[in-house]
Amino acid sequence: MLGVCYYPEHWNEDWWAEDARQMREMGISYVRIAEFAWSRMEPEPGCYDWGWLDRAIATLAAEGLKVVLGTPTAAAPKWLIDAHPDVLPVFADGRARGFGSRRHYTAASKTFRAETDRIVTAMARRYGAHEAVVGWQIDNEFGGDDTVMLYGPEDAAGFREWLSKRYQSVEALNRAWGNVFWSMEFRSFDEVIPPAGQVSDANPAALLDFWRYSSDSLAEYCALQAKILRKHSPDRFITHNFMGFFHQFDHAKLSESLDFCSWDSYPLGKIEHFPLSDEERARWYNTSHPDFSAFHHELYRKLRNDRFWIMEQQPGPVNWAHWNPAPKPGMVRLWGWEALAHGAEVVSYFRWRQVPFAQEQMHAGLTRPDRQLSPGGHEVTRLGREIADVGPLPPIEQADVAIVLDYEAAWITTIEPQGADFNYKLLLHRWYEALRRHGINVDVLTPGRSLAGYKLVFVPSMPVVCAAAMRALQETDAHLVFGPRSGSKLQNFEIPQTLPPGPLQAFLPLKVAEVSSLRPGLAINVEGEGLSGSASRWLEQLETALPSRLATEGGQPVMVSSENASYLGAWLDPALLHTLFGLLLDEADIARVVMPEPVRLVRRGKVGVIFNYGPEPYTIPFATGRFLLGERTVPPQDLAIFETTP
Ligand code: GAL
């Protein structure tokens, strides 16, 4: 169940055999290689050098290690860029970004697609049936470094083509976007340009469609690689390594061409980049937040076939955040177990050895440049032994509770924040956190996925309710809980004629009459049902005959419920959100467990796993059976696996 990312091309060949031996001894079985090695595979245009890669794979295979090959398209060589500078990505400022790091291409480029076809076909022909090669990773972290929306001539041409398919006539496009406003009407699709570089705000409808187009273009590019791999490498899995807290393309759509999703888990790096207060960042700086990784494990597991891998797991300090602390002792092991408890098939570490040259020399590996184990390497060695001792955990059952991640919600609220700090990622995180603090499993789903079998479904925000999402909402018996801005837009970014929540009025007879966004420091007191707290950032005025469950001091409804749905028209403070969700869980008859912060519980059938992210030991009051790992009192930065009947 352990893996590692290895770059044989970075090291003397006479180190490879020893590296492979050490990997095996550590309990590692999978090694991902080659995803940035195009310049070594094809040093001259059309001249392939497979010798080194043949030997690297053979060396790993000799130790019984299984190989995952990365297609190298995230790092095209200099000769390719010199021959075809038109493949370079043009950013919103109109400038092309150049050679010298990675991700220097646009997926819309016909030339780059042809070059991709060539190198992926060559690689798949050579290694597609190799017995040590068990699977493929396509490219590397699609969208990284802001490369989803690009603005070159081929992106523009692709956008026009996409629009003409979607709208059929330019009149329909003008109508959908409301182009009569500010004389933005086009006479033909040829006149359409990507929305960037305007004097003032671009049309939000154009921005949303450009985002959709860019997302589709990337999905198409991924599918193109998958098709080649399936043809030349049957019976091998195909995956991609997605990122955390990254919403810039529709991951559900892109993953349709994959067998399962993988993701790259950098718990500490993400703390620095997430919109938390400085106080919270300081609290989590060397453990990370207890819901950051868990959320993504659940997301990527549910996205495709109930399977996922961690392709890259943080082993020590990274190099790319503003500050890069070492993980608190115990956390590298804990994160590994956490991924496994949430169902990861493999946890693969980035990277085997810290590299003493080039861009990532300050990034830790499982081993140091002097070839000794790093602190993270020691923890992974222990993890490997423990995995062998504990054995497989029971299968993961469907949870009673689901939360819906809507990529378009991220796009729409970025295009039109309306309040500068209305941050969809944070909203989603706060709702997930408020739920998980009740000691329950929470499945993470994307819109349109079946909601059958859930008792409670939380939708923090879903501005556009697409037909598939509506169907799933109508077909479930779950009580639905919608958050602010849900149903506030039609497909073309327009406000529904009946006012928000538009189509959700089928569940809730209510209208959002007006919206206030609130600057930092403003908080409106909210109370009801014995609860009290505050709303900040966002407050909607609800017009409804439904009795209010939470209201402002002035009596303005903030949350209402019908028989099968609730609507929450405000951004609530985390403590109130947590207690409110507790109430909803009780109403839905879902058992919850009171635990101190920041302790988390994951259930796998009759087995429970406790993760203690906090500074204090935690004694589990409800563990009734045998301990498979650890003890009833769980020290800080530690875990326990036990049989349970709470
Ligand atoms: C990932 C990337 C890796 C490496 C790593 C460093 O985002 O896929 O290639 O750069 O970050 O943390």
Angle at 387 between CA 383 and CA 393, to 5 degrees: 135
Centroid of ligand 1 to alpha carbon of 247 (angstroms): 17
The DSSP output letter for 218 is: H
Centroid of ligand 1 to alpha carbon of 251 (angstroms): 19
Residue 366 is predicted with a pLDDT of 98
Which residues have CB under 8 Å from 369's CB, separation 6+? 353, 354, 355, 356
Please report, as a single letter, which amino acid is at residue 107: A
Centroid of ligand 1 to alpha carbon of 507 (angstroms): 44
Residue 70 is predicted with a pLDDT of 98
Pick left, alpha or beta for residue 626 (phi over 0 → left; psi -120 to 50 → alpha; otherwise beta).
Answer: beta
- Copy the structure tokens of residue 49: 């050098």
The model's pLDDT over 206-256, given as tens digits with 9 standing for 90+, comes to 999 999 999 999 999 999 999 999 999 999 999 999 999 999 999 999 999
List, chain by chain if needed, residues with CB within 6 Å of any ligand 1 atom. 140-141, 264, 266, 312, 318, 320, 350, 360, 363
Q: Which atom of ligand 1 is nearest to the CA of 141?
A: 8
Contact 129, 69 (CB under 8 A): no
Which residues have CB under 8 Å from 425's CB, separation 6+? 245, 247, 274, 275, 410
- Ligand 1, atom 9, residue with closest C-alpha: 140
Q: Which atom of ligand 1 is nearest to the CA of 320?
A: 12
CA distances (Å), 356 to each of 10, 34, 38, 213, in order? 10, 19, 21, 40
Centroid of ligand 1 to alpha carbon of 84 (angstroms): 26
- From 350, 351, 353, 354, the mutation candidate for ligand 1 (largest count of ligand atoms within 8 A of CB) is 350
- From 320, 335, 348, the mutation candidate for ligand 1 (largest count of ligand atoms within 8 A of CB) is 320
Centroid of ligand 1 to alpha carbon of 266 (angstroms): 9
- Ligand 1, atom 4, residue with closest C-alpha: 350
Contact 432, 459 (CB under 8 A): no
Q: Catalytic residue positions?
A: 141, 312
Residue 624 is predicted with a pLDDT of 83
Beta strands of 323-416 (E only): which ranges? 346-349, 401-404
Pairing mode of beta strands 510-517, 570-572 = unpaired
- Ligand 1, atom 12, residue with closest C-alpha: 318
- From 141, 265, 348, 351, the mutation candidate for ligand 1 (largest count of ligand atoms within 8 A of CB) is 141
Peptide bond into 646 cis (omega under 30): no
- The ranges of the chain with pLDDT < 70 are 645-646
Distance CA 423, CA 418 (A): 10
Distance CA 618, CA 346 (A): 28
- Cα torsion 534, 538, 539, 544 to 10°: value is -120
The model's pLDDT over 353-383, given as tens digits with 9 standing for 90+, comes to 999 999 999 999 999 999 999 999 999 999 9
Centroid of ligand 1 to alpha carbon of 390 (angstroms): 30
Residue 594 is predicted with a pLDDT of 87
Residue 223 is predicted with a pLDDT of 98
- Ligand 1, atom 10, residue with closest C-alpha: 360
Residue 385 is predicted with a pLDDT of 98
Pairing mode of beta strands 456-459, 510-517 = unpaired
**Which segments of 359-447 does DSSP mark as H helices, in order?**
375-390, 407-415, 424-436
Determine if the pTM surpasses 0.85.
yes
Residue 645 is predicted with a pLDDT of 63
Q: Which atom of ligand 1 is nearest to the CA of 359?
A: 10
